[in-house]
Structure 1
Amino acid sequence: MVNLKPLSVEDVSPFYEWLNDDLSIKYSLSLFQSLRSKDHIDNWFLSVVNDSKNFNRGIFLNDSNKLIGYAGICNISKLNRSGEYFIFIGDRQEWGKGIGSLVTKLILDIGFGNLGLNRIMLTVSEPNYAAIKAYENAGFQLEGRMRKACFRDNQFHDKLLMSILEDEWHDRINLGIK
Structure 2
Amino acid sequence: MFIKGQAVTLRSLDAEDAEVFYLWSQDREVTQFSVSSYAFPQAQSEICAWLNKVNQDRKSVMFGICCIKTGKLVGYTGLVSISQINRSAEYFILIGDKHYWGKGVATNVTQLVTAYAFRDLGLHRLELTAFVDNKAAIRAYENAGYQHEGIQRQAGFRHGGFYDKVQMSVLVTDDMPEQKPITLAATEVSQSGIEHKDDAISLSANLHDLSKEQDK
The TM-score, its normalising length taken from structure 1, stands at: 0.91
User: What does residue 154 of structure 2 align with?
Assistant: 148
The structure with more radius of gyration: 2
Letter of the 1:159 counterpart: K
Matched, 1:173 2:208: yes
User: What does residue 202 of structure 2 align with?
Assistant: none
User: What does residue 48 of structure 1 align with?
Assistant: 54
Find the residue that maps to 1:122 and give its secondary structure.
Answer: strand
Shift, 1:29, TM fit: 2.4
Shift, 1:170, TM fit: 5.7
Find the residue that maps to 2:174 and give its secondary structure.
Answer: helix
How many residue pairs get aligned? The number is 176
**Structure with greater helix percent:** 1
2: CA distance, partners of 1:45 / 1:103: 20
The counterpart of 1:160, out of the listed 154, 159, 166, is 166
**Structure 1 residues without counterparts, runs of 5 or longer:** none
The counterpart of 1:5, out of the listed 11, 16, 34, is 11
Superposed, 1:1-178 pairs within 5 Å as 1-169=7-175, 173-174=208-209
Shift, 1:87, TM fit: 0.4
Find the residue that maps to 2:58 and give its secondary structure.
Answer: coil
1: CA distance, partners of 2:103 / 2:133: 19
Find the residue that maps to 1:139 and give its secondary structure.
Answer: coil
The TM-score, its normalising length taken from structure 2, stands at: 0.76
Using a 3 Å threshold, how does the CA distance of structure 1 residues 26 and 150 change in structure 2: closer, same or farther?
same
User: What does residue 200 of structure 2 align with?
Assistant: none
1: CA distance, partners of 2:85 / 2:165: 26
2: CA distance, partners of 1:170 / 1:160: 20
CA contact (8 A) 2:14 2:51 kept: no
CA contact (8 A) 1:35 1:41 kept: no
2: CA distance, partners of 1:169 / 1:116: 17
Find the residue that maps to 1:65 and give its secondary structure.
Answer: coil
Letter of the 1:24 counterpart: V
2: CA distance, partners of 1:150 / 1:142: 18
1: CA distance, partners of 2:28 / 2:154: 20
How many percent identity over aligned positions?
Answer: 41
Letter of the 2:91 counterpart: Y
1: CA distance, partners of 2:129 / 2:45: 28
The one-character-per-residue Cα deviations of 1:66-114 (angstroms, maximum 9, x if unpaired) are 1111111110000000000000111111111110000000000001111
Q: Which stretch shifts more, 75-84 or 5-14?
A: 5-14
Letter of the 2:45 counterpart: D
2: CA distance, partners of 1:163 / 1:78: 17
Q: Which stretch shifts more, 13-22 or 35-44?
A: 35-44
2: CA distance, partners of 1:158 / 1:113: 32
